[in-house]
Structure 1
Amino acid sequence: MNLQYFLLLLVRYIVFIAFKDNYVWTKNSTHENNGLNQISGICQLYNGTICNEFLRNSHVFISPNVTINDLEDRLKAAYGVIKESKDMNSNCRKYALPSLCLSSLPICRTPERTNLLYFANVAMITNKYSGNETRKKRFLLKDPKNRHSFLKKKPVYYNDVFTNDVSSKYPPTKESENLKRICREECELLENELCQKEYAIAKRHPVISVVGVEECQKIPREKDCSSLGITIEVDDAEDCYWEDGSSYRGIENVSISGKPCLRWSWLMKEISDFPELIGQNYCRNPGKVEKNPWCFVDDQSLDRSIEPCNIPKCVDKLWLTIISILALAAVAVVLTSVLILKKKSSRGMKNIQSINTPNAGNNIYGNSQLNSNQDTGRMNLNSSIELVGIPSKNMEKNSLLRIPHFTLQDVEFFEELGEGAFGKVYKGQLTQPNKKIVNVAIKALKENASIKTQQDFRREIELISDLKHQNIVCILGVILNKEPYCMLFEYMANGDLHEFLISNSPIEKKTLLQLEFLQIAIQISEGMEYLSGHHYVHRDLAARNCLVNEGLIVKISDFGLSRDIYSSDYYRVQSKSLLPVRWMPSESILYGKFTTESDIWSFGVVLWEIYSYGMQPYCGYSNPEVIHLIRSRQLLSCPENCPTAVYSLMMECWHEQAVKRPTFSDISHRLKTWYDGHVKISNQNI
């Protein structure tokens, strides 16, 4: 046994024997002795199990009102809640246990001095004010000024031991004692960036809050602190990037236009998915959404703007080095040749007076101006509707000619509906040539968009220009003569189907009839039958992407709105694009394979949404858990009051083998048959 620890136990025993009666009074009168007992504490050797990895052979600070066993039980209960939580991000989860352990059991730097101080305080207070002076003692303990005045009168040995220690002025507490607490910088990174949502939940949770979550603002800034192991990924020697720059960890923090980069956590909500962004404002490419590292910058016309960073590509640097070496070698060869020619001319040989050179203006590669233009904007995702096959060369030109063209003077912008991949989507009014005014949804391309983004915008016009069906939201016209370029769509008064279902659910004390459920499903299936018949794959069929008009008219759309209310419906799989995994079959999740058959799977999930009044599929499960459920064939259960035949159709749509799923034509036929049957029964009842 450690000699110091043995002496410590001996001192504690002697003090306890000498003042055991008074110490018992102190321990049993916590309701009268708030000044000492509830805030002070002692250091004990940690002998538990749950925090053994972080506190092995360490003395930890314990309040005298609890024991290590009590804290151990609380920690086990709190960690059990965390392990079962569906809201805990995987990058945050690994810091949960060390954070709980080091918060509730801070390490004592000087355990012997802390414990001597505690028992010296107990001894002096109980000895000085025993017997008939109980009331005076209680008064002194409750008044900090009187307690401080009293402590000045402590014996000589007390001053010798604690003269230069901050603890000598007060009984040892978590705030005043010489403790090794969690590093404040790491605590703030967890609370404000990496585990922002988790911290907020923990502070309110009845089991976790009992253990005690650190208030980061109250922790002193010290170099000697308990680290949680959070590292900021930075390599100041890295001055170029490979491939798309997603692995770049250099310290460039200025955009290509010279604007300083903003801190990622200020503007990026999903920073917990990208631990390489915490605590910094360096250029990065999280999720490979761009072709090179970028960052957020201040923009006077926008709340936020993104710009690429002026970082060279490592391959380019390598080639530049090779070219420089070759150029130097070429210069050396030329100089050598000149010297040889001079020698020959000195021997009487004639100099070459002129050399015919080819005309450099006739470049066989043509005008390279377009090829040299770089896409400096953020990469935009196209509409999820995709045409299977290769369009003809004149398709875009013919499509643009067929669509009515309007000017900005023909359109009046109203409220903002959301923001998509190309820019904002607004509600507005269009004045047509016949002076008729109609409500429209305006999909606007953000101003000063890159050439690549403009091409994607026109590509979408090309794709949807030929779509004409009563259950597809059709394009009414375009504005392409002046920025902002816009696509104009018919406006659907009742919003998206997801919101419509919720607003007509039992939660709102409303219900839909079985005929209305079938009416909604039939319209979506007929719209998808039309799309599949024209070789289109939607890729994001869901209730949120179907719009509802008056008279229960439902039409398929995809404005790609990135509203916060639907952010949980998408998940970044293996650092690729955000994907709606709750609506996707295994072949799409694992291999990125999108087909009409994968749209049929999604339709089955939409049916489930309809009959469950807009509930989120696999509600309560995290996105990684949903992927596991789908792969292991643990599918959605039958919604309440859903007919057996309809649920059987859902299960057919979710067949593991894509070729065995029903076609949209078959689905439409079966839904119409059921609908007609319900109508006949209703008429007979009348």
Structure 2
Amino acid sequence: MNIPLRHFIIYFIALTALRGNFVWSKNTKIENYGIQQSTGICQLYNGTICREYLANCYVFIAPNVTMNDLEERLKAAHGVIKESKDMNSNCRKYALPSLCLSSLPICRTPERTNLLYFANLAVYTNLYTGNDTRKKRFVSRDHKSTNFFLKKKSIFYDDVFSKDVSSKYPPTKESENLKRICREECELLENELCQKEYAIAKRHPVIGMVGVEECQKLPQHKDCSSLGITIEVDETDDCYWQDGSRYRGIQNVSVSGKACLRWSWLMKEISDFPELIGHNYCRNPGSSQNSPWCFVDDKSLDRIIEPCQVQKCAIKLWLSTASIILLIVVLIVATYFIITCKRKNSDGMKNIQNINTPNAGNNIYGNSQLNSNQDMGRIPLNSSMEHVGMPSKSMEKSSLLRIPHFTLQDVEFFEELGEGAFGKVYKGQLKQANKKIVNVAIKALKENASVKTQQDFRREIELISDLKHQNIVCILGVILNKEPYCMLFEYMANGDLHEFLISNSPMEKKQLLQLEFLQIAMQISEGMEYLSGHHYVHRDLAARNCLVNEGLVVKISDFGLSRDIYSSDYYRVQSKSLLPVRWMPSESILYGKFTTESDIWSFGVVLWEIYSYGMQPYSGYSNPEVIHLIRSRQLLSCPENCPTAVYSLMIECWHEQAVKRPTFADISHRLRTWYEGHIKIDNNKA
């Protein structure tokens, strides 16, 4: 580190003074004659917690604190961050560098800061000292030394601050020439990527001891400490592939010509999609749509989403290829005409190289043609497993072998119950090996199904084969030897829960007891607790997909029956598949995000259905209106005769932040406690 000679001399004199060359009183206190307690000093970082970011760097240590103090505080804050469940993974990686660079900013000119500090400390230490009566006592050995220091002090100020150091004595975090966190990155963290986490950190007692930067107070300086936050933009990206989820271009206008709004204004889940921070460019977060889109202003609906004016790369590639082919054709035609004109202008002489060239006839191998007429139709479901993407060796380990296999002669079809994605669902009877006859629901695969549909049919068998729970409709067997291929399920005598509730409602001059309401809800929650514990997401939990058996036994199913009576429960959003929007949270509607937490929201709606005797949620509103109501947090009202505690549980299930919704284990525990409490009350009354 190159220090000018005059600085070195003053630095040496300052250190000499501090080592005792001048008289110090035992009770000496430095008065406020230029040396203030708000001063700081630069030290070489020798800790461990911030070594990755501050190794070999001089950092600014604030007054009334040591580097060891800061190190202990940082370790405690880092421990809180690692154990926190409220922090998004995309935000977590910036937490430690942000804390390190906030609490220990890097000194740009440590030698000048320390030189100024020690020189002034030496001057005023040898000029003044204090006693109990605060009487100032001059203790310097002679007036010449005092005048010498004052003169050097003046020279020192003029020299140090005449160049690139912007601060003035005393050096503080705000005034000193330090590398602070880049203001733009700080604001991106606070306002977009880590908005929730930043708010928690400012109020947290442990993290607050370290301190979080006030982004608005940071200086605008190009030479700043970067956290590595980048805005994902590629100006050359002018088209998109597939659904556009990887598009990073700069188009920010919708198809209707409206300007896109900044994502952070409307996207509450922006921390899940770091590609959205810091801009208003078209994107497709989470593949929620078929192409890049954005939010735009709309007078009637306040804020809506619209696709953007971005071309698909496949179309652009086709146009480019067509243009190239056209250009080549034009060049060939032009070349042909040029050659023809030259030949006409020649003297009629033939090229000597072509005189003895034989005339090429038919191919010497003959005009044979391979007979390639092969059967390219669909692959039968009972063919070898290799045809559907599963090796025959692994078939022995497949769950298909653990499920009982039956033939069409073992079942008898009765009435049609409805139609699902794979085909029709029937009520029937199954004759088992012990000659016992049981009622079954038969889920049949439609004839002439495509290869993909057959694969999906097999995949569903494999997925549900391991589900064994008293509140889940379990598979009893399969028929795969001959069409129609079928899945066999236990038959539930009282149909689906929606019809059961309506048939037992006051409209039918009937009524369910509070104990029966709780019994139904508790069984569904326990079934969902089992599914979530096995990492299954239902995606369509509703009363219509729960079946009721004798004895008020309720089991979760997903036959997906597409009867006319349920057609209004589904809505096609942005040309995608039909979605049950009345049972879905906003993150599922807007971003196609289905999780256990979205199933918990749906359970809250099912709970509302139970206490409303099967009434349709948001009855009287169209599906687009329902989407607007859910996004604007206009929740379903409390059903008549519904206990306050149960409605409070519904509200918790509909929490705007998915992580704050209760778990299915917690829901089951509460419902069981209420159920057992009702039984005790009824027993006491009896």
Tell me the secondary structure at the aligned position of residue 44 of structure 1.
strand
Corresponding residue for 1:17?
A: 19
Change (3 A) 1:640 1:286: closer
Tell me the secondary structure at the aligned position of residue 88 of structure 1.
coil
1:216, CA displacement in angstroms? Answer: 0.7
Change (3 A) 1:3 1:522: closer
Larger CA Rg, structure 1 vs 2: 2
Instruction: Report the Cα distance in structure 2 between the residues aligned to 1:181 and 1:24, rounded to whole angstroms.
Output: 39
1:132, CA displacement in angstroms? Answer: 8.1
Query: Quick one: which amino acid aligns to residue 46 of structure 2?
Result: N
User: 1:570-594, CA deviations, whole angstroms, 9 ceiling, x for partnerless residues?
Assistant: 799xxx8211324769xxxxxxxxx
User: 1:316-372, CA deviations, whole angstroms, 9 ceiling, x for partnerless residues?
Assistant: 11111221233334456667899999999xxxxxxxxxxxxxxxxxxxxxxxxxxxx
Instruction: Report the Cα distance in structure 2 between the residues aligned to 1:642 and 1:35, rounded to whole angstroms.
Output: 71
Question: 1:370-381 residue pairs with structure 2 within 5 A?
Answer: none
Change (3 A) 1:247 1:122: same
Contact kept? 2:201, 2:207, Cα under 8 Å: yes
Corresponding residue for 1:199?
A: 198
Change (3 A) 1:100 1:21: farther
Say if 2:94 is the partner of 1:95: yes
Query: Quick one: which amino acid aligns to residue 560 of structure 1?
Result: R
Q: With structure 1 as the length reference, what TM-score do the two structures score? A: 0.53
Say if 2:560 is the partner of 1:536: yes
Say if 2:578 is the partner of 1:578: no
Change (3 A) 1:67 1:177: same
Instruction: Report the Cα distance in structure 2 between the residues aligned to 1:563 and 1:625, rounded to whole angstroms.
Output: 12
Corresponding residue for 2:501?
A: 471
Query: Quick one: which amino acid aligns to residue 535 of structure 1?
Result: F
Query: Quick one: which amino acid aligns to residue 256 of structure 1?
Result: V
In the alignment, structure 1 segments of 5+ residues that lack a partner are 139-149, 345-384, 393-465, 475-489, 491-511, 539-544, 546-556, 586-608, 648-673
Tell me the secondary structure at the aligned position of residue 259 of structure 1.
coil
Instruction: Report the Cα distance in structure 1 between the residues aligned to 2:299 and 2:648, rounded to whole angstroms.
Output: 45
Q: With structure 2 as the length reference, what TM-score do the two structures score? A: 0.53
Change (3 A) 1:622 1:526: closer
Tell me the secondary structure at the aligned position of residue 578 of structure 1.
coil
Contact kept? 1:284, 1:295, Cα under 8 Å: yes
Query: Quick one: which amino acid aligns to residue 296 of structure 1?
Result: F
Contact kept? 1:109, 1:178, Cα under 8 Å: yes
Question: 1:460-539 residue pairs with structure 2 within 5 A?
Answer: 469-471=499-501, 517-518=518-519, 521=522, 528-529=546-547, 535-536=559-560
Change (3 A) 1:118 1:338: closer
Query: Quick one: which amino acid aligns to residue 194 of structure 2?
Result: C
Instruction: Report the Cα distance in structure 1 between the residues aligned to 2:193 and 2:319, rounded to whole angstroms.
Output: 39
Contact kept? 1:261, 1:296, Cα under 8 Å: yes
User: 1:150-171, CA deviations, whole angstroms, 9 ceiling, x for partnerless residues?
Assistant: 9999432442333345556330
Question: Between Structure 1 and Structure 2, how many residues are aligned?
Answer: 438
1:188, CA displacement in angstroms? Answer: 0.6
Corresponding residue for 1:222?
A: 221
Of all paired residues, the percent bearing the same amino acid is 56
1:269, CA displacement in angstroms? Answer: 1.1
Query: Quick one: which amino acid aligns to residue 75 of structure 1?
Result: L
1:224, CA displacement in angstroms? Answer: 0.5
Tell me the secondary structure at the aligned position of residue 100 of structure 1.
helix
Instruction: Report the Cα distance in structure 1 between the residues aligned to 2:33 and 2:215, rounded to whole angstroms.
Output: 25
In the alignment, structure 2 segments of 5+ residues that lack a partner are 138-148, 344-417, 426-495, 508-512, 525-541, 549-554, 563-568, 570-578, 601-644
Contact kept? 1:261, 1:281, Cα under 8 Å: yes
Contact kept? 1:285, 1:293, Cα under 8 Å: yes
Corresponding residue for 2:306?
A: 307
Corresponding residue for 1:285?
A: 284
Question: 1:123-522 residue pairs with structure 2 within 5 A?
Answer: 123-130=122-129, 154-164=153-163, 169-331=168-330, 387-390=420-423, 469-471=499-501, 517-518=518-519, 521=522
Query: Quick one: which amino acid aligns to residue 238 of structure 2?
Result: D
RMSD: 5.3
Corresponding residue for 1:560?
A: 582
Using the TM superposition, name which of 107-116 and 238-247 deviates more.
238-247
Tell me the secondary structure at the aligned position of residue 249 of structure 1.
coil
Contact kept? 2:167, 2:177, Cα under 8 Å: no
Query: Quick one: which amino acid aligns to residue 596 of structure 2?
Result: V
User: 1:416-472, CA deviations, whole angstroms, 9 ceiling, x for partnerless residues?
Assistant: xxxxxxxxxxxxxxxxxxxxxxxxxxxxxxxxxxxxxxxxxxxxxxxxxx9972526
Query: Quick one: which amino acid aligns to residue 581 of structure 1?
Result: T
Instruction: Report the Cα distance in structure 2 between the residues aligned to 1:219 and 1:238, rounded to whole angstroms.
Output: 33
1:86, CA displacement in angstroms? Answer: 0.6
